[in-house]
Every structure is written in C-alpha cells, then in structure tokens.
Structure 1
Amino acid sequence: MVTFFIKFNMRKKILLILVVIAGFNSYAQNRKGQFKLLNQEKHQLLVSFEVPEQAQEIIDYYYENNKEFKNFVDTNKLQIEVAFQWNDEHFNKLREDAIRYSESDEAVLVLKGLYVVNNDLPNNELYKLAEQLEGFSFVRYAELNSLTPIAPPSVDIPPTTPNYFQNQTYIQANPGVNMQYAWNQGVFGQGIRVRDVEYGMSVTHEELTDPKFSNQLPISSLVNLSWLDHGTATAGVVAAHNGTYGVTGMQHGISEFKVFPEYTTSGYDRLFAINSAISASVAGDVILYEMQTGGVNSTTNSPNYVPAEYVNSIWDATKAATTAGIHIVAAAGNGGQNLDSTAYSSYMNRGDSGALMVGAGSNNTTHSRLNFSTYGQRVNVQGWGMGVLTSGYGDYAMLANDPNQSYTMFSGTSSATPVVASCVIALLSRAKASNYDLSPTEIRTILTTTGIAQGGNTSTHIGPFPNMQAAFTFLDNYLLSTNKVDAIPMNVFPNPASNELFVTFPTDYSTNEISIYDAVGRQVYYQKNYISNSSINVSSFKSGMYILKMKSNNAEQSKKIVIK
C-alpha cells in the first residue's frame, strides 16, 4: 500500500467576471511537460492531481480505484505525502470567500491535490518518475523543484545622500507615489494585515521592534545573513516605525507584518511557506512575494529570473489565494526576461493568477523600465527599482557598527514590490473605513487606471507607476457608487463590457439622463431620455473602470462598470 508521511509543520459581482473567465481557461490548459531540473543540486518531485468530488484523501482514491497507478506506486515503492496539511475550517473559509469574490471555489480545491514524492532519489530518477506520472490522465502536472535556496530579487546600488526621511522621496509626489496624500487623509494602513514570503527579517532592528513584526516559522541557521537583511528592508519600506529617527514606513499603521520564511529548520520549501502564509490569511489580507525563480534556459551563472509563479504549483497557490480575496503583490524578478516571448507561452497560457505583478522602474519622472527588470503584459505596475531608503544591510549607514541601526538604499524588483504593496494597503485601508472590501481585481484596476504612464521604451512593458492622489480620488467616487442606496432600480450589463452595454429600468424612469465618467472624473458619454435596454456603444472607450450615473425623478443612481 502507499506509504504516507503527512507534514504537520505548520461583490459585488461587478469586476469579478474577468477572474472567472480567466480561471476557466487556466484549468483547461494543458500544464504537462513543463518540469525541468534547475541545477545539479538535490530536487523535490511535486505532483498535482485532479481533485475528484467527495474524495477526502486524493491519493488514496486513485490508489484504490486505478490499478495501473497502484502498480506504479508499489513497483517504485513511492512514499507520497501531502504538500501541505490544511486546517479544515480555514480551508472551507477560503472556499466560501472564493465563491463570494469569484463565484467559484475551483482554484482553492486545486490545493488539496498537491503532493510530494518523499523518496530520496537522484535527479535522473526523479526526472523519469515525473515523465511517467504525467502519463496518468488524472495528473495535472509533475514538477521538479530545486531544494537549493534562490537569491531574493535585489541588486546592489550604492547610496548617494546622507538624509533619512528627507530622502524617502518615494513617499512624496511624482516621481514618488505621493503616499503623503494618503497620510494627509489619515490613512496609514489601519486594519490591514500583511504577510511576506522570503527568508526572514531582523525583529531586533530599531525600526521593527513593535510586536506586530514577527517571523512565523523558525529560520534555518544556514540562511545567508544578507537575505535576512532583505526582509528587514522590505518590512522597513512598508511599516518602519514613525518616529524622530531613521525611516518611516509608507503604511506604518498596519496591524501585522508577519514573515513566512522559505528556509526553516525543516529545510528549504517555498511552496510550504506560501501555503503557510495563505493558511494564516483571509480576504482583505496582503501577501508579498519577495522572491523570484529561474526562467527559460536558466543556469547558475545566468538564472534569467522571472516571477516565482512561473513554477506551476506556486501559480496554483497564488490563484487560489486571489480567488478567495487575498491580495498577492509579487516581484516580477530581476532577470530582464520578456514574458511575452514565445519561450514563456506555456506560462502565459495558464491565464492570470490574480497577483499584482510588479516591475522595477526608474526613480525619476520618466518611470522607465530598469534594464534588469523582467517585463511583458503580465507585469501590471512598477515601483522604484533603485534608491529606496529603508532599514537593513548597513551600506547607507551603520550607526555605532550596530546591525540594529543599519540602513540601506534598497533596489531591484525587491524594492519596487513593497512600494507598490504599500499603495495596495492604503487603498484597502481607505475602503475598509467605508465598510467595503476591495477585491484583487478592483485594486489592480484602480492602480493601472489612475497610475502615471510608463516612459522610455514602452515596448518593454512594466505598467504605470502608482499615483495615490489620483487613486484615492477615484476610490472615493467608486465607494460612493458602491455604497449608495438603490434610488433607481437599474441594471447594467454586460459588465465587464467590450463593445456595447445596456441599461434597464422600469418605465417610471423614462425621463432621465445617463452619463459615464472615466477614472479621473471626465464625462465620456451623455444621453438624455435614454430608452431602457437600448445599446450604448463603448467600443471606443479605453480599457479600465468607469462610473455610470443615471438621474431621473429627482433621484440619482451610480453603477461601476469595466471596459475590457
């Protein structure tokens, strides 16, 4: 029989149709034949099984109901264990949230089908097993993951100035994100919980001594100390203390900042760290992916870094989280790879995981791509990829030679990601204060619609740069639309729309005015005495979020619409 070693280590419907449509395509797409050996170091074999209805133990189900699979397992003496042991109550909550946000829990259920082969075998034998396992129709894919830790996505750019808060210019207006505007509105991240998946952070650093900072799993003693500094720097950008010394976090009022380390005393396991973060999160929480992985034709000397979700199982975990309303903000990676090239077609054909993908841009008003940043249409927005003053390392300052008083100029997609994550947190906090939970799709739409356009060579796409004043202005109008009592019983469809949309309402409201406004409040459509259920041509509208307003009988009603 199979030997198991179970690991116990630890809307509103308006915008979400896009996610559902993308989800169907991603699960139908063939994910087989994508595994590879990244290096000569030890690897782990992971297998994704289809999840049959009503089956509690997926591997038992196939072992007992498929003779060929049973013989294969017995012949090879396979030891198979679940990749992650989910708490049933929390897993059911993820499923409920997925249905609430995305009308389907399919992406969450996929996580139950992830297993690892626990046999200690050389790489060539694992490779052969992967090929054979993918021959079974109920295996979605096999995957070979290196057990050698992957460097976090930072690059070395020296400091140029001795100031602290004054040099946190990424907080101010363009070329910064204008987080000062959010502060002026009293928004500091109140009520938002943050998780970070990387190697850890120093909770003894003077910027991170508050109890809200914690490492959630025991960190391996083999972790490079500079990689711990990486987490210290990330935490500093987001939530460093607001005081009279050092730096100030962009959203220093968050309630939690928890790191889920990839490399623990149990070994290196990135998927386990991600699943642990998801298992500790609910809709409205934010998870940072401060990590990258080797891309096409990667070698030790030329790793060609791309997003961590390039790995099939990471994509599945990410999709499950975002479908359930958890916000994933992910580094695009420092490999300078073109994700639109045919070499990455298998990755792109999976569809959209729902993560907000962040590229590295310049720290000036051009907002052009830095040459190391991976790029392509999958990259949604950009943050500063250089010159981000924060805690850690000590290359900017090391007071009294004390690592707990160290500061750095952070860089790479590593620095870009917490800058953008802070913008996400601010929007979530603002909406939460109005008793509204923004979905990952809504957050992405707001930031891409209101951001400052990318400059330089725009053919290497990394998306716009966040503009918090414009984002807040749009969000405030959006919340008014969302929370207003239905003064007019109107319906707008299809939503999202591509070429035309329709508005329906009772005949009592035939004397009316219909207006449509874009993200910055400009009127782009107007019609008086619109006839219910007649076509409105929106084919010339740019993709993005809009507000449709109807006035009739001294009443007014607004609806959010998306043009794709």
Structure 2
Amino acid sequence: MINNQINIYKLLGADPSIYVEGDKENATSQFELYLNSTLVETVHDNDASHLFKIAKAGTYHVVAKSNTATLKSNEVVFYDSEIQPQKIQSRSVTHELHVPEEKKLKGKDHIVDVGKGFYIEIKIKKGAFSLLKEQVKKFKKTYSLTKKTTNLDSFPKWHSIHEHEYYIITQKMNEKTAHELCRQIEQIDGVIYCSITPFTDNLEPPFLKSVEKSASTRSEKKAKRITAPSHDITPDFSELQRYLDEGRGMNIRSVWAQGNTGQGVVIRHIDFGIYKDHEEFQEGNITVVHSRSETKDCNHGTASTGCIAAGKNSFGVTGIAHSAAFHFYDTDDLYKVVEQAKPGDIVSIDMQAYFNNEFAPMISIKSWWDAIKNLTQKQVITIMAAGNGGHNVGNLSFCPDYGDCGGILVGACNPPDGHRASFSNYGHRDSLINSWGWDVVTTGYDSLQKRPGHNRNYTNTFNGTSSATPLCCGALALLQSHAKKRGFLLTPQSMRALLKRSSYTEGVKDGIGRRPNVGQLVKIVDAMAFTPIAGVNPFPASSNYLNYNIDLQPNSNNKAKIHFDYRPSGITHTGVIAYHKAEGPAELEWYSYGHSLITLPVFDEEGQINIVTLKASKENIGGSFTMNSAADVQNHSPGEFDLSLSFNQQDNKHLSPGKYKGILPLYVQSWTRRARKFPIIVNITIEVNDLPINPFPDLPIKPFPDFPK
C-alpha cells in the first residue's frame, strides 16, 4: 500500500538537492529517487530523512520503503536555471551567498573563563590517530586521549565530518600549560586544530542589562508593571509585544494574518534552563530535551522560549513561531544539537563567551566555531548572540577570525530608532541581523506579573542580545515556514542573502546588520520560488498556442474577460487549468461556484520579481465558477464561456506604485476528452497606484469591485 506521508523540498544554490522529510515515528530502510518515472538512485538509510544531490532538471518524487509501509512523496520540479545557476545571471534573486575558503584554524586561541574550567578538544583527519597518540606519548607530561563519539546518521554522506575524528583531553592544567600543549599538538601531521574549550554545564545565566535610556531612545509606549488581578486569570499582554509590529518591530502580525505561525519548522534552542511547566508552554509544541534542575535560575531560557514559542491563547504573550516544533537544550548540549538537527532546522544559541572581563560571541571558541560549521554544512540555519560587550568583534584580538562558519550573529538594537544598543557587540562580518535589545515582553522573571512559583511570571524588561537572539530565531522560523509552503528550504546561505534584502536598515551603519522585516521578506521568498518560471512562455511555436494581452488597473478596469467558444468543434464541458501547479489549479473539477486564486510572478519596471494575486473565474449563463470548473450549463451553449481575471489592489498591498508585467500559461481542457489540452498564453500588464487614504478613519474603505456571489 502506498501512502502520501512524506514530503520533499528543494534546496537551491551551488549544490541543488532534495530533502526528504519522512515519518519521524518510523525509520525508513530504503529511499528511491525518481526523475519523472525513471529510478535514478536508491539509498539505504535508518533515518527518517535523507538529502539527495540533484544533477538534472525535471520532475522528481521519492518512494520510501520500510518493513511496514511504502510511502510516496509529493513532486518537485527543478528547472534548468536552478541546476545551472550561472546561466541566470540576469535574474534578480540570489539563491546562494559565496562562502569564502576556510582559513587555518591553528593558533589564535583564548582561555574563555566561565568559572567551570576547560578541556582540550582536538580535530584530526580520519586515520591520523595513531600518529597523534604516538607523538603525545613523547610529551613530558602524560595525557589521556578520549575519542568523542558522534552519531553521524543525520549527516549526508558528502559532509566533511565523515573525514575527521575528534579527541579530548580533560586533565586539569593551568592556562600556560594549555597553550603550550595546543601549540605542540597542532604541529603534528593530520591535526586540524587544538581548541581550549570551556565546560558549559549548568552555566550561570547572564544578568539582565541595566539599560540607561536617553530621551532619544526611550520607548514611546513603555510596558508598565501590572498589578496581579484579584481573579485567577493572567491578562492578555499581547498588545505590549511591540516587537511584533510593523515599523519599529519585525512586522510579524501581518504574517500571522496570512496564517503563517511557524508550521512545519523545527527550532532547536540552547539556553540557561527552562521552567517547563509555565502556563504558556502547555500547547504541545515544546519539547524539553534537557534542562537543569528548576531549583536553579531558569528565567533566561524561560524568557527566550516565550519570545519564540509561547502558546496562542487568550492570556499572557504569544510566541513569534508558536506553531513550530520547539526543542529546548541546556548550555552543555551543543553536540547533542549537532547530532539531532536536520536540514532546514533553525538552531539558536543564546549564550556568550567571557574572557578578560569581556563578552564575546561563542564562535570565538574554536571548537564551537567548528560545531556551527558542521551544522551549517548540514544545511541547518544557525544563529547566536553577538554578546553584550559593546565591542567591535571584527577586532581579531577580541574575536579570532577562523573563517566563515556559515552562522549568523545577532546584535541588539534600540526599539525606538533601530540603531545599535550601546552594549551590543558589532562589526563581525557575519553579524547580519538584529532585533530589540530591551523592553521585550515575554515569559519569566517578574517585572510585569509576579505570582507564587515560576509558572505564571512575566517580564517587560528582557534585554540584551539575549532578547534579540530569540526574537530573530522566531522571525527566521516564519521565513522558513513560508519557504516550505512554497516547496523549498532556505539554506544557511540563501537565508543570509534573503536577510540582506530586509528594508529595516537602521542598524547597518552601526555594524549590527538589518532587522528582519518578515512581512516584506515573505514576498521575496515567493519571488525566489517563482524565479525560474517568471516571464517564461513554456509553449513551443509548434503548439499553436493562443496569445492574449490584458491590462488590469485598480479602478473600473480591474477586470478583464477572454471569450472562448468551442461549439464548432463539438468540444464540451471545458475548464481552464494552470500550466504550473504553483500558479493555480492544475486539475479539472466538475464545478464549484466562486473563483480560483492565481499566484503570478511579475516583473516591475526595474526588473525585480514580485508576486501578485489574481482572481480567476469561468463565467457563463449559469454564473461564476472556479476557472477549472468543467461543467456546461444544461441545454445552453456548451463549450462557450468567458475566463475572467481580476486584480484587487487591497489583496496586493505589498506592491509599490508602478507597472508590472507577467506571463500566465494556461490550458483549456475538456472533461470528456482529457487528452485534448489547448495551450493559452495570457500576457498581463498591471498598473498599481497609491492606495487611497480614508478621510473617515472610523469607517472602512469601500473595497474594490469583486465578483458577484
């Protein structure tokens, strides 16, 4: 029996791939990759997922087989331009960001003081252990090498981790001895690096920053402490979550309004413990993989979790990606995350390194840099706090440059103006994004509401890069969710490229990058999905396709009709279907009243791709139907109908004023003679004006004309 219980997604860039997301409850023994109907690759894998590399354009699907079931996936299409991206230099959307060659990792090490000591981690080429062991025996002191075991099932076969091994030395030593030991070990052939790595189990959380606010940086609407009400219900604090707003926030609410709340995305968050029984964490989307005892201070991780995953309900706060699958890990779980993370996951590390009385990002630790590199090479999007030192981390004496690990640093901005908060680190080449560094309303602590215990407390003072990191994590999860809806995964490289197009640029000149404008960026994700088919006529001249030109404007001319009459040919019960499934209905139905939605890629006057939504209906004497409705009205002009296309500017408010042009390829198909499909090209020009201003704000603006019901 074949069931459709697995999904596949495209990964675009230098190495086009297909990610198979299987049934997590059942391990799969075999995956079969098909190009059209031809089997091109078979692999055996005990994991529920797999990553295939793609070499040819075409339509792909996957069949997964186990002892109990055979599962068939959806189909995805790779176009020539996606397999050979160098041939589409004229396209406006970049799917891949060039990653510079990794620099040498030897030397350049700090002693990071976290109060718990450190150990030595050694990365070697596979097969080099015998030489390492032999040379270490010659040292004056005796050191014990212990192999660090890693479950590699989730790593694709071409991942570089398969070419290396890791060993650790845990004996206590002073700083001078550690530096000298690493210097000696790094001289041995086959050694990639030797890292002085701090123990991070049960780390004390950082203190919240004491933020001094000048008149120019004071919030316009400060969330004030609310006295606990006499009744036993927490108030709704969602209005105070101003970081969700358009403008000075991250434009989250507009994306929620479209139904995107993080569905289908896995988030793996590393932090300082969590109060797992908090009232906001009972919706079933939160898994605590590991957390310290709740007798310790778990407010930091509780506050971060609330920013990302607090439940959608009538009280308290709402997490940015509250429908995502959220996994919580404690501060010593980095390597557990490296093992468990899958392509497309979002990993956020809300920690900072501490040395010489200064705060630095965790990538200043060589082994952490390498672990993050392993994650991003596995196509896991990884972000981490830039740290609260107020320093330029481009300074190599402060933060060694080991190369590009593929991760993203998160800085903190002032909510009122978007500029760098004074305490935020800045200046690293991977410090690409930022969000609010104070006045963050979320779960935990107690400055907003304090109740007995920890499970109903809320704060309005969560701050630092500690608050900015989970806020950005939630934002990136919404972007990934939207990409999956469009059939592809954002990779670490394509996520970076996408974030560089955010319109919230106040922090760029301050060295903390852009603040995600999620409402704007989901439109660019749409454009990324439609780039290969934008403006392309797929029909050869020999197909004798019909060609139509229509102009749509946001006024009385917002609707156009194309008349079809197949009575002379005797073809009846005809409907209109989309050539591309992504653009509209691609299969006939008998009939449904109403209209269909067309999602069309169009070019603006500067050659940028945008997405417009049109309404399409088949109209005849019987009324208005979905465009793919086939049924004729009984005893009345069989085979004759109008295809109506309309543009509503209120449905396309993301478009700037100007002209847009696109090509919509369609088929007219008969219900009774399915093999007969008549190709149609509709060349569409749309003129967008400034939206009208309502002079009576208490009254709604009258909508543009719509189809009759």
Query: What aligned pairs does 1:7-18 form with structure 2 within 5 A after superposition?
Result: 11-13=11-13, 14=85, 18=97
> Do the aligned residues in 1 keep the contact of 2:604 with 2:610 (CA within 8 Å)?
no
- Sequence identity (%): 23
Distance in 1 between the 2:117 and 2:661 partners?
Answer: 53
Residue type matched to 2:323 in 1?
A: G
**Distance of aligned partners of 1:339 and 1:488 in 2 relative to their CA distance in 1, 3 Å threshold:** farther
User: Is 1:284 the counterpart of 2:344 in the alignment?
Assistant: yes
User: Is 1:180 the counterpart of 2:253 in the alignment?
Assistant: yes
Query: What aligned pairs does 1:409-424 form with structure 2 within 5 A after superposition?
Result: 409=460, 410-424=462-476
Shift in Å, 1:520: 7.0
Deviations 1:239-259 (A, max 9, x none): 1011111111111111x2112
Query: Could you tell me the TM-score, scaled by structure 2's length?
Result: 0.58
Residue type matched to 1:161 in 2?
A: K
**Distance of aligned partners of 1:483 and 1:414 in 2 relative to their CA distance in 1, 3 Å threshold:** farther
What SS does structure 1 have at the residue aligned with 2:500? Answer: helix
User: Is 1:468 the counterpart of 2:518 in the alignment?
Assistant: yes
Residue type matched to 2:156 in 1?
A: R
**Distance of aligned partners of 1:444 and 1:70 in 2 relative to their CA distance in 1, 3 Å threshold:** closer
> Do the aligned residues in 2 keep the contact of 1:37 with 1:43 (CA within 8 Å)?
no
Query: What aligned pairs does 1:373-392 form with structure 2 within 5 A after superposition?
Result: 373-376=424-427, 377-392=429-444
**Distance of aligned partners of 1:181 and 1:120 in 2 relative to their CA distance in 1, 3 Å threshold:** same
Residue type matched to 1:176 in 2?
A: G
> Do the aligned residues in 2 keep the contact of 1:381 with 1:466 (CA within 8 Å)?
yes
Which of 320, 341, 361 aligns to 2:374? It is 320
**Distance of aligned partners of 1:220 and 1:201 in 2 relative to their CA distance in 1, 3 Å threshold:** closer
Residue type matched to 1:450 in 2?
A: S
> Do the aligned residues in 2 keep the contact of 1:170 with 1:177 (CA within 8 Å)?
yes
**Distance of aligned partners of 1:360 and 1:548 in 2 relative to their CA distance in 1, 3 Å threshold:** farther
> Do the aligned residues in 1 keep the contact of 2:321 with 2:474 (CA within 8 Å)?
yes
What SS does structure 1 have at the residue aligned with 2:125? Answer: coil
Q: Partner residue of 2:277?
A: 204
Q: Partner residue of 1:214?
A: 287
User: Is 1:261 the counterpart of 2:330 in the alignment?
Assistant: yes
Distance in 1 between the 2:662 and 2:388 partners?
Answer: 44
Deviations 1:507-564 (A, max 9, x none): xxxxxx998634778xxxxxxxxxxxxxxxxxxxxxxxxx9999999699xxxxxxxx
The count of residues paired between Structure 1 and Structure 2 equals 447
What SS does structure 1 have at the residue aligned with 2:254? Answer: helix
Which of 387, 390, 393 aligns to 2:445? It is 393
User: Is 1:32 the counterpart of 2:106 in the alignment?
Assistant: yes
Residue type matched to 2:455 in 1?
A: N
Distance in 1 between the 2:534 and 2:261 partners?
Answer: 26
Distance in 2 between the 1:452 and 1:460 partners?
Answer: 13
> Do the aligned residues in 2 keep the contact of 1:217 with 1:260 (CA within 8 Å)?
yes
What SS does structure 2 have at the residue aligned with 1:114? Answer: strand
Distance in 2 between the 1:335 and 1:144 partners?
Answer: 21
**Distance of aligned partners of 1:514 and 1:390 in 2 relative to their CA distance in 1, 3 Å threshold:** closer
Q: Partner residue of 2:307?
A: 237
User: Is 1:367 the counterpart of 2:418 in the alignment?
Assistant: yes
> Do the aligned residues in 2 keep the contact of 1:515 with 1:549 (CA within 8 Å)?
no
User: Is 1:88 the counterpart of 2:152 in the alignment?
Assistant: yes
Q: Partner residue of 1:343?
A: 397
Q: Partner residue of 1:544?
A: none
More strand by share: 2
Q: Partner residue of 1:76?
A: 141
Shift in Å, 1:18: 3.7
Larger RCO of the pair (alpha carbons < 8 Å, separation 6+): 1
Deviations 1:229-275 (A, max 9, x none): 11111110111011111111111111x2112212xxxxxxx4xx111
> Do the aligned residues in 2 keep the contact of 1:515 with 1:550 (CA within 8 Å)?
no
Compute the RMSD of aligned alpha carbons.
Answer: 3.3
> Do the aligned residues in 2 keep the contact of 1:152 with 1:198 (CA within 8 Å)?
no
Shift in Å, 1:170: 0.8
Query: What aligned pairs does 1:429-444 form with structure 2 within 5 A after superposition?
Result: 429-444=481-496
What SS does structure 2 have at the residue aligned with 1:453? Answer: coil
Which of 191, 194, 197 aligns to 2:264? It is 191
Residue type matched to 1:290 in 2?
A: D
Tell me which structure has the larger Cα radius of gyration: 2
User: Is 1:134 the counterpart of 2:186 in the alignment?
Assistant: yes
Residue type matched to 1:319 in 2?
A: K
More helix by share: 1
Which of 224, 237, 244 aligns to 1:161? It is 224
What SS does structure 1 have at the residue aligned with 2:167? Answer: strand
In structure 2, list runs of 5 or more residues that go unmatched.
Answer: 1-10, 14-84, 86-93, 213-221, 227-236, 540-602, 612-659, 666-679, 684-709
What SS does structure 2 have at the residue aligned with 1:258? Answer: strand
Q: Partner residue of 1:535?
A: none
**Distance of aligned partners of 1:132 and 1:325 in 2 relative to their CA distance in 1, 3 Å threshold:** same
Distance in 2 between the 1:257 and 1:317 partners?
Answer: 21
**Distance of aligned partners of 1:37 and 1:450 in 2 relative to their CA distance in 1, 3 Å threshold:** closer
Residue type matched to 1:249 in 2?
A: G
Distance in 1 between the 2:116 and 2:277 partners?
Answer: 34
Deviations 1:376-432 (A, max 9, x none): 133101101111100001122113x33211001211111111111111111111111
Residue type matched to 1:233 in 2?
A: A
Residue type matched to 1:386 in 2?
A: W
**Distance of aligned partners of 1:413 and 1:245 in 2 relative to their CA distance in 1, 3 Å threshold:** same
Deviations 1:184-224 (A, max 9, x none): 11001011111111222111111112343233135257x84
Query: Could you tell me the TM-score, scaled by structure 1's length?
Result: 0.72
> Do the aligned residues in 2 keep the contact of 1:450 with 1:471 (CA within 8 Å)?
yes
> Do the aligned residues in 2 keep the contact of 1:153 with 1:334 (CA within 8 Å)?
no
Shift in Å, 1:153: 7.7
